[in-house]
Chains A and B, each alone.
Chain A
Amino acid sequence: MTPNATGVDAVIDVVTAVLLIAGALMSLGAAIGLLRFPDLMSRMHAATKPQVLGLFLVLAAIGLQMREWWVWPILAVAWIFQLLTVPVSAHMVGRAGYRTKHLHPELLSTDELEAVVLRAAGQRAAEKAQEAESAMPHTGKARNGGNARNGGNGGNARNGGPSA
């Protein structure tokens, strides 16, 4: 930031300061959510969303301060990396959390996945285990119980892989 800025510089500095403090507040919001929410799933919301916006605000502040056009594509790449990775890791953590019964049923108003799980546990266990085995040789055997459903890992790994 410019010391004793005047004119345009001063305006840019004020905007930068606002963006930086808002970005830092987003981190604080994530931490408050982590502390106050009762279960893993709601904490996941708190951990992912403010993170994305916070990085966006702070990167925008960097772009304003550098004042060179070639900075923007770099910052965009950094942000897009996060846009691609954050939902995937949130989904993986959430899926593991649901499968290991980290959910508090008393906090849910409806759970439409549970019925599907119970139905699937009996009739589809065998074929899914086979599918899982052919897709992932060393994890298929470990998960041939009721929770070895055809997850989204196939689609995510394939589509997220090349770009992330």
Chain B
Amino acid sequence: MSRKRISFRTELPLLVWLVVVWGALWRDFSPGNLVFGALIAVVVARIFYLPPVELSGRFNVLRAIPFAAVFLGKVVAASFQVMYLAVFRGPTVTNAVVAVPLRSHSDLMVTATGHVISLIPGSLVVEVDRSTSTLYIHGLNVRNDVDTAKLRKEVQDTEASLIRIMGTRAEMDALRAEGWPATRGAGS
């Protein structure tokens, strides 16, 4: 079997997550249980080999916290928007499928953007084209070109703030070349 050795650093987020799940399932966060969980996590990660998720190696906590707050706000807004449309618009709602090309070509970034996009108001990922890294998004209540442009901008802004949190240096440079001021807030 030809396995690419995964460096400990790449595997660390997965191991930490496994330990947290272990502690949560036992409802016991005492050091002994966590150490045993870490042991099992290492064994599991060695035996049940999965292709590693290629992280960029940087994670900006200062940008992640406001992003998480904005994200939570948008989850709330999404539910109320759907409820409003269900009650007052109902059968007459107009939708659209919009193609949004993304900047990044890494699987992680496309997946993360797709996940966040699926949870914020009025958008769901219908189809992904990995070769051109284009997301095809189903937008709820998209009536005209103005709404389409708004949806597209929203998706690309989300990707931009995700890149600023955990994108690679090259993606950051591409973002800066586009003329995004570095001080722009998360999910703006």
- B168 close to chain A: CB less than 8 A: no
Q: Are the CB atoms of A91 and B122 closer together than 8 Å?
A: no
Give the distance in Å from the alpha carbon of A26 to the alpha carbon of B76 in the complex: 10
Set of chain B residues within 8 Å of A7, measured between Cβ atoms: none
Select which of B20, B87, B93, B124 is within 8 A of A38 by beta carbon.
B93
- B160 close to chain A: CB less than 8 A: no
Among residues of B, the one whose C-beta sits closest to the C-beta of A54 is B79
Q: Are the CB atoms of B127 and A74 closer together than 8 Å?
A: no
Q: Are the CB atoms of A159 and B98 closer together than 8 Å?
A: no
Among residues of B, the one whose C-beta sits closest to the C-beta of A26 is B79
Give the distance in Å from the alpha carbon of A105 to the alpha carbon of B155 in the complex: 23
Q: Are the CB atoms of A108 and B97 closer together than 8 Å?
A: yes
A83-B20 in contact given A26-B79, A149-B129 (Cβ < 8 Å): no
- B165 close to chain A: CB less than 8 A: no
A24, chain B: closest CB distance, angstroms: 13
Q: What are 28 residue pairs bridging A and B, where the CB atoms are less than 8 Å apart in the complex? A: A29-B82, A29-B86, A36-B87, A37-B86, A38-B92, A38-B93, A41-B95, A41-B138, A42-B93, A42-B140, A46-B82, A49-B79, A49-B119, A53-B75, A54-B79, A84-B115, A91-B118, A94-B125, A98-B97, A103-B97, A107-B95, A108-B96, A109-B148, A111-B97, A149-B129, A151-B127, A155-B107, A159-B107
Select which of B20, B94, B97, B145 is within 8 A of A113 by beta carbon.
B97
Give the distance in Å from the alpha carbon of A109 to the alpha carbon of B141 in the complex: 9
- B183 close to chain A: CB less than 8 A: no
Among residues of A, the one whose C-beta sits closest to the C-beta of B116 is A87
Q: Are the CB atoms of B118 and A86 closer together than 8 Å?
A: yes
Q: Are the CB atoms of A48 and B93 closer together than 8 Å?
A: no
Q: Among the interface residues B83, B85, B108, B140, which one has the most CB atoms of the partner chain A within 10 A?
A: B83
Q: Are the CB atoms of A38 and B91 closer together than 8 Å?
A: yes
- B114 close to chain A: CB less than 8 A: yes
Known pairs A45-B82, A112-B97, A159-B108; list 8 more (Cβ under 8 Å): A38-B91, A41-B124, A52-B79, A70-B28, A91-B124, A109-B95, A151-B128, A159-B53
Interface Cβ pair total, 8 Å cutoff: 182
- B→A interface (CB under 8 Å): 14, 17, 20-21, 23-24, 27-29, 50-51, 53, 75-76, 78-79, 82-83, 85-87, 90-99, 107-108, 110-111, 114-115, 118-119, 121-122, 124-131, 136, 138, 140, 142-145, 147-148
What are the interface flags for A98-132 relative to B under an 8 Å C-beta threshold, 1 for contact and 0 otherwise? 10000100011111111010000000000000000
Give the distance in Å from the alpha carbon of A125 to the alpha carbon of B118 in the complex: 28
Among residues of B, the one whose C-beta sits closest to the C-beta of A39 is B95
Q: Are the CB atoms of A113 and B111 closer together than 8 Å?
A: no
Give the distance in Å from the alpha carbon of A111 to the alpha carbon of B110 in the complex: 21
Set of chain A residues within 8 Å of B107, measured between Cβ atoms: 154-155, 158-159
Question: Which residues of A23-63 are within 8 A (CB) of B?
Answer: 26, 29, 32-33, 36-39, 41-42, 44-46, 48-50, 52-54, 56
Give the distance in Å from the alpha carbon of A155 to the alpha carbon of B112 in the complex: 10
Among residues of A, the one whose C-beta sits closest to the C-beta of B118 is A87
| 5 closest A-B pairs by CB | A152-B128, A87-B118, A33-B86, A29-B83, A36-B90
Select which of A84, A87, A103 is within 8 A of B125 by beta carbon.
A87
